[in-house]
Structure 1
């Protein structure tokens, strides 16, 4: 009977080593995680966040203040809900049929949405949804609009999409596990309807914001713990190659940088969609990353929820850093300043968080 456990061992080894997985991992050099030190020293400034209930809806991943003084947020259901700053008067403004992520208001009053499934959309003040561009870009994540009317968006990955790969969280996880760095920054000109590649080579391109003079773009790269400053006029720039048009503003951050927003005073806010984990130890071990995907998900170690957002200036100075190490925060993805409050975005909670706006 000794052949039974031996055969089982062989089958298990074959499964862990040979079963097909959707990624083709690339070896890369991950920096050693710094932990919560210096400007990111552990604190509890984000503990005790107030909650605006969303009445059964989940995932206010991004929040934007509208010209009408109301808040707008996209949800997992595909709905975009608007409300008063105190959370009252909630109503469905529009439904995209996808997963709305980043949003920004254009000069004509339309809401431009980076929908991870439906692509780039414009929503008229009456809630009518219209596609922008040719619909080829997928897994769009964040959006910023210049005074010229040109729209800048991040395409998190050209390898994995929420439509094909089980949703935004799964597609993002696969992209970070693979590390093929296919994320891009794109420019869409509504006047000419031309889509242009500004930069490429990001490992999960995520948040985006314009500089005050609109000469640069700030871009968060989740998969490699960085925030970039990219020249607005860059064209097909590969950030994997040295260039005067690309500067790493923050490197080796303690978590996965996510949404970027600009406050009325020009301060930039960044959310962290989770802490660093053992993935760094597998950076130079592509085979091991493939093997991990063959292990049933219920056996994966679940990281403790850790709320974290930070504010910084355009020259890369950390102005404030707010954390909730207590494990009560949903997956914090960003922060929006408005009406004397700091609204905390999240990807998986049933409420929109807020705290009184911290003094700068």
Structure 2
């Protein structure tokens, strides 16, 4: 009798989360249907995250030549070049970017119209832990000093990527305010966590992974107001199917357009990498699906000038990733199949 009673009480407890997950999946799948409007695609405000090899001496002028050919045929206006990482105390040792001057010289000669921001984030130890205490005023000052140094070296701006940052955290806004004072009107951008897709979604995800996966809309808007650009990292979405990832991108893009002022740039992160750590993620997430999701959101929202895809990341991107970016976003009308998403599983 006691066992039956326990099962009777436990059944609803187990069933409710399952029903909620299934309802969320259906909602995402519904969003990823239909055909995007013909006018949707690049607005010439796309971006590319680039690895550390460009500033540590491993890349050469010839490598810039090769990449320049690809970028000239794209909608990429900004690149974020990894120039750290910052040390545990927030300092940026000069030996982290010994080839930066040469790289900037090569870049200006070949791609004078594409801005280069120094991408800065924290060091991760062997256990995957992030030890930079961004709430420490002394660490904040060192972070800002590093950003000021790189802008003085010739970078067009600073791109921050601190992960994870709890929703509502006061340290990141403080760093952004001080960085603005330090670099003036130079470009200030930040990688953001995903926006809470539905009210209440943040708490269970935090319980499962131990930190915030989502930012509340209010906190996301606060960060957007303090920067020139925000790039939503829509990848690593936990969606097992391409259609669900597409719906996730539609939702994130829609929320982003509602929250980011028109005079700022909204970038939708597109996964040009293939080591998600789980096979389902590698199969579900792609540049093609991210592009299609962004186009569907734009179709519903209406034209927006400063919106783009941000490809992550140059050294992992395959020829297929670049083709999907071109066919699905830069020149989507060239490939009729990019307009038919209803058959995606």
Q: Which has the higher strand share?
A: 1
Q: TM-score, normalised by structure 1?
A: 0.31
Q: Which has the higher helix share?
A: 2
Q: Which has the higher contact order (CA 8 A, sep 6+)?
A: 2
